[in-house]
Every structure is written in C-alpha cells, then in structure tokens.
Chain A
Amino acid sequence: MSERSESCEKGEKWKETRRLVSHLSLVSSVSHKQTRWTMLTDTERRELEDAVKHYPEKRGAAIDALLTVQRHRGWISDESLLDIAQFLEITAEDLDSIATFYNLVFRKPVGRHVAFVCDSISCWIKGCEQVQEQIKNLYDVDLGQTTSDGRLTVLPIACLGHCERAPAMMIDQDVYGEVAPEKMENIMEKYK
C-alpha cells in the first residue's frame, strides 16, 4: 500500500471513529447505564474497578485508567478510549482532552520499548545531545520516532530527578544515569 492511500484510509477510519464517538457520547450521556459496549478484558476491568475505589467520583480515576489500559495494550487507541470512557461514564471527548494533555499517555502506537531521554538543564550541561545523537546513529531514529522493526520509540522527557547522575535516561521503567554515548549499546541489550 502506498503511503498516500494508507493515510487516506486512516483518515476514513478516523472519521468513522469520530462518528462513533459523537454517537457514543450521546448514548452515554443519555443512558450509559443500559448500554454495554465496553470491550475491556476481565483483568482490565478488575484493575479499573480497584482504581476507582481510591476516589469519591469515578472520573477521578481517569488517569489511572488510561495508564492501566496502556500497560496492557501499549497505547491508547480510539477504541481503547471509548472503552475507558464508557467505564468511567464520561464522554470520549472529555477523556481525550485528558489523554492528550498528559505526555505519558500515548495516543499513537509506540515501539516495544520506550526510551525517554532527559533534555533538561543538568543533562544538557553533561551532554544529553550526544546521547540523542548516539541513539540516532545506532538505531536510525529521531526523537518522537519509532524504529522500523518496532523495537524502540525515543522521546524527550523533562528532568527525571536524577540530575546528580546526568545525563539520565529512562527505558520503560528503568532509569540510567551517567549515560555516556559509548555505553548505549550495552544498556540497550536488555531491551530487544
């Protein structure tokens, strides 16, 4: 498929989803109690029910819910967004306004692993630009991109709170300090 037709198709799909979204939000605001559209897995549902217990209102768990579903599915697709909105009894638009605000919620697919490279001041002083460059040289990705084999997405991140060991980066949930460019390959061994 050429790039162009793929993006057209995505456009169509998006429009379709938008229709569904507006339709759903209408439904959910009128009679969400009766409708049962949600496709959450049993595990996801259980985890979301646990999350909701921590707040006096269901929507308090919106961010927990997004992060929980993302943990299972890798990212938050339009379908996932609908599933969660339905569960929280809020509109999908409302939830999307939250999902798109927080940078650790991914509204686009990411690779199997995500490298967050700190670009704040202490790391900049100690050479975070060289770290970014090394990643580009080794894996042929720029910030914001995913490798063609789907292994790795690279994203910039604000100060990781490890400034005394700058430059710092986080891969998935593991933080690395004093990341000299020549150590990069070694570090990445763990993330296939």
Chain B
Amino acid sequence: MERPLTKYLHPDGSPRFLREYVATGGYRSLQRFGTELAPKDVQRLVGESGLRGRGGGGFPTGTKWSFVPMGPDAPKPKYIVANGDEMEPGTFKDRVLMEGDPHGLVEGMIMAGYALDAEVGYIFLRGEYHLSAQRLNQAIAEAYAEGYLGKPLPGTTFRFDLHLHSSAGRYICGEETALINALEGKRAVPRAKPPFPQTVGLWGQPTIVQNVETLYNIPQIINHGTDWYRRLSRTKDGGTKIYGISGRVTNPGWWELPLGTTARELLERHGGGMADGVRFRGLLPGGISTSFMIEEHLDLPLDFSSFPPDVGRLGTGTMIILDDQTCPVGFVLNLEKFFARESCGWCTPCREGLPWVAKLLMAFEEGRATSDDLSLLEMHTKWLAPGHTFCGLAPGAMAPLQSALKYFREDFERHIAIGGCPWSKKSAQQRVLV
C-alpha cells in the first residue's frame, strides 16, 4: 500500500528539511516547468487526478481552479493561500504533515502558484501551532536560499514569493472568506459570496484558498501522473487520505490510507478496536461539523462521493468515537458549547441560536428538560440549516445535533424521564481512571 504523503516522515516526529526532501525527489518536477509543463498542463493534471479538497468540503480542486481568471488580462497579483487553521475539533492531520515535512507544503504552493500564475502565497497557520511555524519558517528560508522561491524558476519567467502568517485564535478563521479578512488584518467575519475568492479575494484580487493536505497532494500528482494517483484510491476520488481516530479506542492515532477505506477497517485494524471496557456507539467521521454514523454505516467507504445524503459527509476524515460510557447528550453539549463560543457573532440565527441550543442541552444534563425542549432542539436544526446563516459554521453545528436526535433519541428521553444524566456519576469516575 502506497503512502506517498507520509512514507518518509520520521517516526520520532523530527522534521525533514531541504537536503532530505530533495534526496527523496522533492522539487525535482519544478525542472519540467517551462519545458515540458505549461501552467495549463499543471491545471489539467490536477483536474484529471480527481483530487478533492481535504479541508472538509471535498470540493474538486481542478474545478475550483477553473474559476480563476487566466491570461494576459487577468488581474495581478493573484494569491494562493494555504489554509492551516486546523481548529476543527478532533482534527490533527495538517499538523502531522507540516511538522514532519514542511517542504512539501512549500513545493505544493509553488506548483499551484505556477498553474494559476499566482505569484504570491500565504500560509495561514493557527497561532497555537508553534512547532509548525518554526519548521515552516526554516523551510521557507531554505527554499529562498536555493532559489525555489524569490527567483524565476529555471526556463520560466514565473517567480513565487511565500509568506507565513501565524494567526491569533478563533475557529472561524478557517472559513475561507473569514480567513481572507484575518489575513488583511481585520476581524475574521466571513464575507458575502458571491463574489467568490477565486475572482475577488485577498485585497480584492483573485485568490485560491486550499487546505494544507490538499496542497501536499499536488507534487505527488505532478511527479507521478494522474493514472498512478487515481490508483492510490479505492473509489473514484483520487489519492490517499490522512485518517485519524480519537476517543476511547485501543490505539488512537493517524494513518495514511487509500481514499475509500471503511470506518470499520480504520477502527478495528488500525485503531485496535474499542478500549477495554467500553463499547462502540457511534462516530463523527471528520471533525465535529459532521453527522454521527452508527454501526450500520461502518462499512461505507470513507470518501467524498460515496456517502448517501442522509449519512452526511466525510469532513476532515479524522474521526471521533462515542463510546457507551460517555453520555451522547453531554457529548453534543460539548460540541454546541464550542460552536456557541466560536461563532463570530455576525448573523443573528447563529449568534443567538447556538447559545440557546447549548442552554437547552444543559437543561437535559441538569435534569430540567421537558419534551418541549426536545422539540425546540429539533426546530433549531431547521432554523440554523444551510441557507439561514451567513456561513457554514451554524449548519455545521447542527449536523451532529440533528443526527444525535435521530440515533440517540431514547437517551435524550431518558434524561427527561429520570430528571438528570444517567451517566453522570459513572462517567465522572471513568474519566479519572483513563
């Protein structure tokens, strides 16, 4: 099984810098730019590879690139932005890549820049990733010294400049238009779309915002070709995926596997099954803005095109496991408290609705809830559905709630019936032991 993104990573987590990166084929394909590969060839290869965005939405990268104005009349400069905000709870895949192989991101961005004739790049990194910042800074300095950055690539007139921006917190910065405001030195509230960033983005210029893991895939596609790349996957989406597991399993961690690996394989083969003394109840497949999956969904391929609509979406591919010793209502309360705190406050349904949802769930935990509260929760999943709010944060917050109400309804009802949380004492003890 091929693991192109991670096979060279050091098991001890130490970084690979320039010499090692080049020794394993890094930056080699840049020599083919100008002679063999014109920008439109790189665009075409990325389109044909079947690469889909790894930031949670799974949007086809080639399609996204096709909206960028090209040619001599296109606005200048254009920007490439790596989205390294990675604050989706349960998600830690971009960190693994940036800490272990910082040059892979630099090369991916140079290639994307060349393909779109975008001469400036920013890496937008969450403020807490100090180690990634340190290593990326070193990689950028090395790439400048070697002339991969800041000088025309051999045989071309294309020159790429790359900057690292360390942010200062707030989950909403990961939403691409909020991210653009943050990069401009403003409050990170999302912008209205359209216009989309591909035409009017950073400082009003055409801008492509791409997840970190997405960008790591680009050198692989260019180095090895689209047939090879598509064969890495078990489904029609191209490539591998960095999957992860957290929660009470024997062996939490991350693995690079073919796209389309099933949750069961991931959980049993790689995660070592559930931890001693606990049983599986459900999982969120990729961060907390995705819907619960239960036993009956474990054999679905985890990719961007195989999920039936009522199962939701893959999200970031780093799953969080709910076990039978953990209260599903408490679990969802934790998620909704996060969303309420992280709401940017721009639009009313989200700013007012999420704290309301959190208070309702609190009432369940504290034994004050009635069946009216259950209906109120149901209603919020409609009031905060896509189309009712300015960005995807609030609809994302409703995905786990709506599915929890569907699969764990009797647990909500039990809270009402016994006037409290059936797990409270037991779970407190459990947690001290873990």
Contacts and interface: CB of A to CB of B under 8 A. Distances in A.
Contact of B89 (A66, A98, A105, A121): A121
A39 interface: no
B92 interface: yes
Contacts of B253: 164
B68 to A, nearest CB: 19
A48 interface: no
A98 B186 contact: yes
A161 interface: yes
A116 B186 CA distance: 24
Contacts of B170: 101-103
A120 B89 contact: yes
A129 B90 contact: no
Interface string B226-255: 000000000000000000111110001110
A119 B427 CA distance: 16
Interface stretch (A9-17, A55-63, A140-148, A184-192): A55-63
B326 interface: yes
A57 to B, nearest CB: 7
A64 interface: yes
B146 interface: no
A25 to B, nearest CB: 17
Contacts of A135: none
B87 A158 contact: yes
Given A60-B184, A120-B89, A122-B90, A163 B165 contact: no
A66 B169 CA distance: 13
Given A57-B203, A120-B334, A127-B434, A159 B166 contact: no
A157 interface: yes
Given A121-B338, A125-B326, A59 B130 contact: no
A160 B169 CA distance: 11
Contacts of A125: 246-248, 320, 323, 326, 331
B86 A163 contact: no
A121 B335 contact: yes
Contact of A161 (B86, B341, B432): B86
Contact of B171 (A88, A104, A105, A158): A158
A126 interface: yes
Contacts, number: 142
A105 B184 CA distance: 17
A119 B340 CA distance: 13
Contact of B431 (A129, A157, A164, A175): A129
Contacts of B244: 163-164
A161 B128 contact: yes
Contacts of A116: 128
B349 to A, nearest CB: 20
B167 A170 contact: no
Contacts of A158: 87, 89, 169, 171, 338, 341-342
B320 A163 contact: yes
B413 interface: no
A103 B169 contact: yes
A63 B434 contact: no
A181 interface: yes
B321 to A, nearest CB: 8
A108 interface: no
A157 B256 CA distance: 28
Nearest to B129: A161
Interface in B326-352: 326, 331, 334-335, 338, 341-342
A189 B125 CA distance: 30
A173 interface: yes
B288 interface: yes
Interface string B42-66: 0000000000000000000000000
B95 interface: yes
A160 B128 contact: yes
Contacts of B288: 120-121
B185 A59 contact: yes
B291 to A, nearest CB: 14
Contacts of B92: 161-164
Given A57-B184, A67-B127, A160-B128, A181 B246 contact: no
A121 B334 contact: yes
Interface in B114-138: 126-131
Interface string A110-144: 00000010011110111101100000000000000
Nearest to A129: B431
Nearest to B86: A161
A60 B81 CA distance: 15
B88 interface: yes
B318 interface: yes
B183 interface: yes
A97 interface: yes
Nearest to A59: B185
A23 interface: no
Given A120-B89, A125-B326, A163-B89, 15 more contacts: A54-B163, A61-B185, A64-B166, A67-B168, A97-B187, A103-B170, A120-B338, A121-B89, A122-B246, A122-B247, A125-B248, A130-B432, A161-B128, A164-B92, A170-B128
Interface of B: 86-92, 94-95, 126-131, 163, 165-171, 182-188, 203, 244-248, 252-254, 288, 318, 320, 323, 326, 331, 334-335, 338, 341-342, 431-432, 434
Q: Give 5 closest A-B pairs by Cβ, nearest first.
A: A62-B185, A102-B168, A127-B431, A120-B89, A163-B246
Interface of A: 54-57, 59-64, 66-67, 88, 97-98, 101-105, 116, 119-122, 124-127, 129-130, 157-166, 170, 173, 175, 181
5 contacts: A102-B167, A105-B168, A121-B320, A125-B323, A159-B91
